[in-house]
Structure 1
Amino acid sequence: MTDFQLYFELGRAHIMDITAYDHILFVMALCTIYQVAEWKKVLILVTAFTIGHSLTLALVTLDLIAVNSAVVEFLIPVTILITALGNIRKRNVDFHQRASRTNYFFALFFGLIHGLGFSNYLKALLGTDTDIIGQLFAFNVGLEVGQVLIVLIFMGIAAVLHFFFHIARRDWILAVSSAIAGIAVMLMIETKFW
């Protein structure tokens, strides 16, 4: 297995790890308000998240910034909660260009926080290896592929439920976002930040 394959797989596994489901919840929260026909917007959205995630991973791994793990572990579910509550607030509103741009900004900004959550582990994993840039690139490509797979599965389920069970978009957004918000609150309570 090449270095690229190894770090690609680490990135893909990181985002799809069911035991560390905070990233999955966040990606689901990002996608809840969109329909399959809006796949280009969703792709831009998860790519914005990956860019933010990649930036802070690189900054910490290259020793350009340091992070307080307890604060980051608390902030990650906060980002999930804010995204879910934003979905609930917008559930009756048809999206237009300005709302989409706002979502892209939040995905990018919240990606910065999520990247901090995994950065110390990745930094320890990389150690003093000389090809750190190549490994970071491979990791982030794997991360993006994993996110796209999550989006495909999640939006596929949503499409099936809409088509076969005629679940209204408004009800879907309310139900999924409320569940995600509840889980995010539980994750916030469980952190050692308190």
Structure 2
Amino acid sequence: MSTPMLRHLRHCGRQLLALGMLLWALLLPGAVLAHSSSNSYLTLSGSDGVLSLRADVHLRDVDLIFDLDADRDGQVSWGETQDRRAELLAWLDQGLQLSASGQNCRLGEADLQASQHADGTYLSAQWTPACAELGSLANAELKLRYGLIFAQDDLHRGLLKVDLPNLQSSALLSPERPEARVSQAQSSAWRVFGRYTIEGVWHIWIGIDHIVFLLSLLVLAPLQASRRRVTQWAPAQHARPVVLDVLAVVTAFTLAHSITLGLTIMEWLTPPADWVEPAIALSVVLAALNNLLGLSSLKRWRLAFVFGLVHGFGFANVLLDLGLPASALLAALGGFNVGVELGQLAIVLVFLPVAWLLRRTLFYRWVVVAGGSLAIVVLGTFWTLQRTGWLA
């Protein structure tokens, strides 16, 4: 075999290896995220001087710790859960601590039952805490610490909803922020705005489907579109058109998801939850296919706007899970939206300079644009099938 032919084969082999590594790198985080992250729902409420605390934890998460499936049939029954009642009560007791004015409250024994949420069966525990320093519920100064599941899944979150007389609030508890303070001071509009800004940033950074969709829209920006194949597009010569293109895409996406986010939160538009997530996954597939086929290359902002409307429904579902405070609804909505934009901006500021520097290379056009888009199509198709129930 001739030397030029060998060189060509080695070159093709290196490209295939790079494509395979990129595909693996993209698929692995998506699969892990799809199966490991989860939420628990916490509710702190009260009336007539009586305080109530409830925790709903997915049975799948409880099974990770206690191996509840005794008969190994692949399903966790309520009977199998009840058999471990004493251990579960002890686990819940050490994972939740409530205090009033700096003094620990006695939770007592929890009432355990099964409850249904959109994503499956949960273990629900409810307490009537006894707090010596509680005083009036309307002026309560409480602190809740949550530590369940964090050791097994660092993406796990506790979504706290507070419904006390003259005090409605919410918080997201994480390994980095396992405590929530509940008081009138903490429920001010500025504090709510700041807290939800953080949640918006975090949601973008852990939402791999939103990140992949955004990158699909940005990856062609440093190239000059033509009617030729994407891998033959010339590198952009000037930075200004590239920046304007990226600005148009991000602005269109922001405007679109802000519209549907607001409409959903105000309950003017409420699409079925089981429709939203598959639609988001499908938008990822179509955005990546647009890169491969070279369609509407100069009009990606239109694609960003159309599918941004769909992603806005997904953002709204997150906010609704958090339980928006009625007394500071606009502050929470505005803060979350600002957080989402800051999270997007951080991604753009990291990606765009690297893409600009690599735009003249075959690596960028073949591996990043073509190979990356192909990998995203595969990943998005997997998500779509998974979220529609075609894959378990």
Give the shorter-chain TM-score range: 0.7 to 0.9
- Cα shift readout 1:3-61 (whole Å, capped 9, x = no counterpart): 221111111111111xx310000011010111182022112211211111111111111
Q: What is the aligned partner in structure 2 of residue 44 from structure 1?
A: 248
- Cα shift readout 1:142-176 (whole Å, capped 9, x = no counterpart): 1111111111222233334446xx33653232122
Q: Verify the 8 A CA contact 1:32 1:176 in the aligned structure 2.
A: no
SS class of match (1:6): helix
CA apart distance, 1:87: 0.7
Out of 174, 183, 189, the position equivalent to 2:385 is 189
Q: Verify the 8 A CA contact 2:355 2:364 in the aligned structure 1.
A: no
Q: Verify the 8 A CA contact 1:84 1:181 in the aligned structure 2.
A: yes
Q: What is the aligned partner in structure 2 of residue 178 from structure 1?
A: 374
SS class of match (1:173): helix
Q: Verify the 8 A CA contact 2:192 2:328 in the aligned structure 1.
A: no
**Separation in structure 1 between the aligned mates of residue 388 and residue 353 of structure 2, nearest angstrom:** 36
**1:111 aligned onto 2:315:** no
**Separation in structure 2 between the aligned mates of residue 25 and residue 179 of structure 1, nearest angstrom:** 10
**Separation in structure 2 between the aligned mates of residue 118 and residue 28 of structure 1, nearest angstrom:** 18
* Larger strand share, 1 or 2: 2
CA apart distance, 1:124: 3.9
CA apart distance, 1:121: 2.8
**Separation in structure 2 between the aligned mates of residue 124 and residue 168 of structure 1, nearest angstrom:** 42
**1:65 aligned onto 2:260:** no
Higher-Rg member (1/2)? 2
* 5+ long unaligned stretches in structure 1: 92-97
Runs of 4+ in 1 over 3 A off after TM superposition: 159-163
**1:22 aligned onto 2:192:** no
**Separation in structure 2 between the aligned mates of residue 183 and residue 140 of structure 1, nearest angstrom:** 27
Matches within 5 A, 1:93-132: 99-100=297-298, 102-132=299-329
Compute the RMSD of aligned alpha carbons.
Answer: 2.2
SS class of match (1:67): coil
**1:6 aligned onto 2:195:** yes
**Separation in structure 2 between the aligned mates of residue 80 and residue 139 of structure 1, nearest angstrom:** 22
Amino acid at match of 2:217: L
The number of residues matched between the two structures is 183
Amino acid at match of 2:303: F
* 5+ long unaligned stretches in structure 2: 1-185, 223-235
Matches within 5 A, 1:152-167: 152-162=349-359, 166-167=361-362
Q: What is the aligned partner in structure 2 of residue 95 from structure 1?
A: none
Q: What is the aligned partner in structure 2 of residue 33 from structure 1?
A: 220
